[in-house]
Each structure stands twice: as structure tokens, then as C-alpha cells.
Structure 1
Amino acid sequence: MNLKRLIQFLLLLFIPSTSYFYVQSVGSLTDEANLVITLSLTILFPVLFWLFSKRKILSIFSGFFIGFLLAFLIIPSTERQYFHYILKVAALVEILFLLFVVNSIRLTIKKMKSLKNDTHLDFWERLDDSMSGWIGNSFVRGAVIMEFKTFYYSLIVWFKKPKPPNAHLFKYHEKTMFKTFIIVILLILPLDAVVFHLLFMQWNKLAAWISTIINIYAFFYAIALYNSAKYLPIVVTSNKLIIHSGYTGKNDDRHRQYPIFRTF
């Protein structure tokens, strides 16, 4: 991280942390302080977030919503007199964000079609390359694609199964205890969801529902993990060995290829 980006990062941390400590140190906010904190979190914070994120348009929307959430958490509920103005701006930003997402999806589909004839790239690699135009950060892009994969391998794959490659296949999930492990996890997760929901409900309803949602996600994640192992086997061709480790493999599930050397 160079000096410029380090300064931007420190400023990002400075705005919410300073606002929080100031609010905690005073009994009540003056109108001027309230306005400065609100504008700093909902305008200055998104601008710095945009600069820190290499000027990607998506980051300005992300920064605004993060700043708005921070302002909501930091400013006491009795002193949010400027929030009704911010809510009007938030509605406009949300509309612009939806238009941006729709247009980005259109451009992604268009680019994926242009890459369709590239036999060196599979579907997920084409999707990754197509999304790079509006999600520049590879980590964020990988996280988004990972959610798409979870949805696909847990639900869609039951109705539209991928075609196996024309090669020798080794389905490693059939030769190990992997299937038994997944079945045990799927049996434990519903019980875990009920128990933790009841326990957290005694303390906080929001925490209870968050715990339940996480368990539901984990249930579909386990299904997706098994299906990806089933439909992404190890592939052996005449000149290479392709090893998959499910859809959660390293580097966005881009398979590793090892050439097979022939001896004469």
C-alpha cells in the first residue's frame, strides 16, 4: 500500500471513529456538530471510499450506504433531525444504484456472449472476466461469484445439470467419506438452528434471527459443496490433468492444470 492510499485509508477510519468518540464525549449535539457529522458520514465518507477503491462507480454507492448506516448507529435517535433530508437523497441514490446494476448486468451478458467461443474459459471464468469492468476488486468480485455458485449448485443444478467433459473422470466424492460427512452436517444444521434460535431469543431477537439465517445459508452451502464435488470431478485427458476442489477452490474456482509428460 503506497503512501497516498494509506492516507486515504486513515481518513476513512478517522471520520467514523472521530464522530463516534465526539458523540460519546458530549452530552448532546449542537445543530452545527450534528450537521457536520451527518454530512461527513454521508458525503465525505463515500467520496474517500470512492478514491480508496480506485474510482469504481460501484464504490460510491457502497460508500454512501455504509456511511448512512454509520451515521444511523453513531448519532443518537433523539438527534437525527437531518435524517429526513438524507432519506430523500438515499431514495434517489437507490434508484440510481438499481439503474447502474441493470446496465452493468446488460453489459456483463453482452461481454459473456462475446467470450462464448473462447474454449479456454469455462462459464465462471467468462463471468469473472465480464464483471471486471464494474467490480474491479478481485476479492469482491470473487465473493459475488461465489454467491452465484452457491445458488447454482444448491438449487439450479437439480434442474439443469452441467454436461461432463469428454474425458476420463474421477469422482472423488464417491471414493471418500465426503457424502457421509455432508449428510451428517445436513442433519445437524436444523437442530443447531432451533437450539441457537431459542437460546439467542432469551437475549436478543435480532441475534436469534441472524443466527437462524446463517444456519439456513450453511444448509444450502453444504448442499452446494456436495453437488459441486459431484459435478466437478477430476478430469484426465491425453495431455493434462485438471483438478477441481469443489466450487470453493482457490482462485475463484479456476482449475489447476498439470501437463502429463509422456515417456518413450
Structure 2
Amino acid sequence: MLSLSKNKWFWFSFLLALVISSNFLIYRLESLGPLPTGIALGSLFDFVITIPLLVYLFIIRKRYSLKYILPVMIAGYGAAVLIIPHGLLSAYSFVKYILLAGEVAFFLVELYVVFMLFATFPRIIKSYRKNESEIPTFIYRMKQASEQHLKPSRVQDIFFSDMTMFYYSLFSWQKKPMSPDERMYTYHKKTGTITLYVMLIHALVLESIGFHFLLHSWNPIVSIIALVLNVYTLLFFIAEIQAIRHCPIMITDRHLYLQVGIIKQLIVPLENVKSIHYYDGPEKLTKDQERHIFDAVVADFFKEKPTFEVEFYHPIEARFMYGFKKKVTKAHLRLDESQKFYNTLTARINEFDAQ
């Protein structure tokens, strides 16, 4: 997940604002005229090279793939078109064709990945039905089946994130949530998280109806786009409710599975669990502290302190929707049967320590 220090955010915002505002003022202040003939080329360099370079240095480097630079360059060119007078920009129209060619090439590569994904999908479904995972939930079984046939990619992560959302929002209603036992522990029954999401759904539906007719009278295309986004958000809220109900926290013979709705997931080998103890830290964590913690406490009307803090010997990769990841060294938990969970996990840790 994207996590920058306040200092880096300040310098990134400052430099970005400096580049954009200086270029904007050059073409708007009469005292700076007449402008030299090559000024538009300098502005294009700022928007197509300098700004993407800032994004790479402050945001993308060591976090995301270099391929995300291309959309930033295209967005920079779009900003340049809005700021640079057309008469000065027309001499450099070839720049947009270069960027367009790069975007087409990038799109074709992504299209090939999507094609391979759909071509492999029947085999994935077959593996999903055959595999008997130690965790019987849809999310884990589908992840296990997809990894047998596909190499990891961001397109694959986005596809399966959306498929998970559609499954839980539309097709999970006939299944009953798993009953809690010595392996499975619910984490939502003593919270207001389900009520919170129901209220958000209610507000979203009312807002969508009124806002759609208002936008439609102004611009039908914008109203349709807003409606599609609202429907997508509605399905997300429903899927989150169902995934919270159907995906309890689980302890198996070798792993601790932390699945919080459809948003985030952490699989912890029990031999990597250093300790579990009652949490006595601050209610509000700093950004630096949050960066290394997997927060498995569900959303509520008021943020509750976690009951437990589970500490690991080595950092573990937590997974989030759409392929985002981060390394964590601790997990914060709040469960309905906290003491039972504590006893079970402590016993499992002691078993591995004794080996």
C-alpha cells in the first residue's frame, strides 16, 4: 500500500505545485511577454518528463512497477494541453502520437494478459472444484487454484478482486456462514460494522437516485458514469458484509489466516509467530507504526482499540485488493471470543516452540 512520510508528501506536493504553477503563470502574466518560440517545448518537457520523474522518485520507486510511468506521462500531456496556448503547442503535436503509440503498446500487452486469463479460466474453475484446501472459503480456494495455472500479475489481481466482489455480493446468499469452533473465530458480532455498511448502502441508494436525475439533466453521459460507479460501490459494500460473515479468522495446524472482508488478507505460518499479548498501546498510531501493522479490526462507528497484538519473527507480506501489498511485523486483532482464541493460538505457538 502507498505509504509516504509527511516529509516526502510535503516535498512532492511542493515540487509538483511549483512546476505546474510556474508553467501556468508563464502563459498568463502579460509582463513576461513576448514569449520565446521554444517555451512550449520547455513546458512539454516539464509535464511529460519532469512530473513523471517526480512521481517515480517519490511514489513509484521500490513500490510499484515502472509501467505506471506511462499513464502519468499521458496525464501530464493532458495537463499541458490545458495550460499551453494552442498556437504554441501545435508545432509539437508529434509528442501526443509518441505517447499514444506507447499507450497502445501497453494496452495490447495488457489485452494479451486478459486473453490468457480468460483462456485459462475453465482450468482454474476445474482446479477450484477439485482442490480441498485446509481453508474452505472462496477467497483462499480461488487463490490456490489460480496460482496453479497463472503467473502473478496486476491484471490478474484486479480481475480476481472484482470476481471475489461479485461472488460475495451476488452468489453467496444461499450459503450459511461457517459455525465458530476451535479453528474459526468471528470478529464482527460484537461490533456495529454490519449496521455501518447497511447505513452506507441506504445512503448510497438514496443519493444515487436523486443525484442521477440531477446529473442527467446536465449531462447524460456523466450521469451514466456516476450511476455505474455507484452500482459498483453498492456491490462492494454488500460483498464486504458477506465476506465478513463468511470468512472468520482461522487457526489451522500450521497457519493463522486473517481475512478481513474482501479488502485485506494475511497468512501467517505459526512458526513465525513470536508472541500474542493483550494490546496496551495507544489508540491512534503514527503513520510509521501503521506501515508495519496489519489491522484486522473491522470498521465501526467508533474506532475500537484492538484486543490482541500478534508479533512475528520475520516480516510477512499482507495482500490487499487489486494487488496492493506491504510487509508487516505485527497484527492487531479484536474477536468475539477473545479468550478462546488467545488460548488456542498460545497453545499452537507453544507446540512449535517445543519442537
**TM-score, normalised by the number of residues in structure 2:** 0.49
Q: Does 1:66 align with 2:72?
A: no
Q: Name the CA shift for 1:104/1:19 in 2 (closer, same or farther; >3 Å).
A: farther
The structural deviation recorded for 1:20 is: 1.7
Report the counterpart of residue 239 of structure 2 in structure 1. 224
The partner residue of 1:152 within 123, 147, 163 is: 163
Pairwise CA RMSD: 5.2
1:230 partner amino acid = R
Q: Does 1:17 align with 2:12?
A: no
Do the aligned residues in 1 keep the contact of 2:41 with 2:92 (CA within 8 Å)? no
- Gap regions ≥5 residues in structure 1: 114-118, 136-140
The partner residue of 2:45 within 39, 45, 63 is: 39
CA deviations on 1:155-205 (whole Å, 9 max, x unpaired) are 14556999x8x9733455677665555455434423211212344567777
CA distance in 1, matches of 2:104, 2:249: 45
Q: Name the CA shift for 1:64/1:30 in 2 (closer, same or farther; >3 Å).
A: same
2:45 partner amino acid = L
The structural deviation recorded for 1:28 is: 8.3
Report the counterpart of residue 54 of structure 1 in structure 2. 61
Q: Name the CA shift for 1:213/1:241 in 2 (closer, same or farther; >3 Å).
A: same
Do the aligned residues in 2 keep the contact of 1:225 with 1:247 (CA within 8 Å)? yes
Q: Name the CA shift for 1:44/1:232 in 2 (closer, same or farther; >3 Å).
A: same
Q: Name the CA shift for 1:181/1:40 in 2 (closer, same or farther; >3 Å).
A: closer
Q: What are the within-5 Å matches in structure 2 for residues 65-144 of structure 1?
A: 65-76=74-85, 80-82=89-91, 84-101=93-110, 123=143, 130-131=152-153
Do the aligned residues in 2 keep the contact of 1:179 with 1:226 (CA within 8 Å)? yes
1:71 partner amino acid = A
Q: Name the CA shift for 1:235/1:84 in 2 (closer, same or farther; >3 Å).
A: same
Q: Does 1:189 align with 2:204?
A: yes
Do the aligned residues in 2 keep the contact of 1:200 with 1:208 (CA within 8 Å)? yes
- Gap regions ≥5 residues in structure 2: 118-123, 125-133, 265-294, 296-317, 334-341, 351-355
Q: Name the CA shift for 1:11/1:179 in 2 (closer, same or farther; >3 Å).
A: closer
Do the aligned residues in 1 keep the contact of 2:48 with 2:73 (CA within 8 Å)? yes
Q: Does 1:261 align with 2:339?
A: no
CA deviations on 1:40-97 (whole Å, 9 max, x unpaired) are 3224433454455338531431331121122123224565414632231122111232
Do the aligned residues in 2 keep the contact of 1:153 with 1:228 (CA within 8 Å)? no
Do the aligned residues in 2 keep the contact of 1:239 with 1:261 (CA within 8 Å)? no
Report the counterpart of residue 138 of structure 1 in structure 2. none
CA distance in 2, matches of 1:89, 1:240: 50
Do the aligned residues in 2 keep the contact of 1:167 with 1:237 (CA within 8 Å)? no
Q: Which of the pair is proportionally richer in strand?
A: 2
Report the counterpart of residue 319 of structure 2 in structure 1. 252
1:151 partner amino acid = D
Paired residue total: 241
The structural deviation recorded for 1:153 is: 2.8
Moved more, 186-195 or 234-243: 234-243
The structural deviation recorded for 1:247 is: 2.1
Report the counterpart of residue 116 of structure 1 in structure 2. none
SS, match of residue 247 in structure 1: coil
1:32 partner amino acid = G
Q: Name the CA shift for 1:207/1:74 in 2 (closer, same or farther; >3 Å).
A: farther
**TM-score, normalised by the number of residues in structure 1:** 0.62
1:192 partner amino acid = E
SS, match of residue 250 in structure 2: strand
CA distance in 2, matches of 1:240, 1:44: 46
CA deviations on 1:234-262 (whole Å, 9 max, x unpaired) are 22446775443212244535995977223
Q: Does 1:215 align with 2:230?
A: yes
CA distance in 2, matches of 1:79, 1:184: 52
SS, match of residue 260 in structure 1: helix
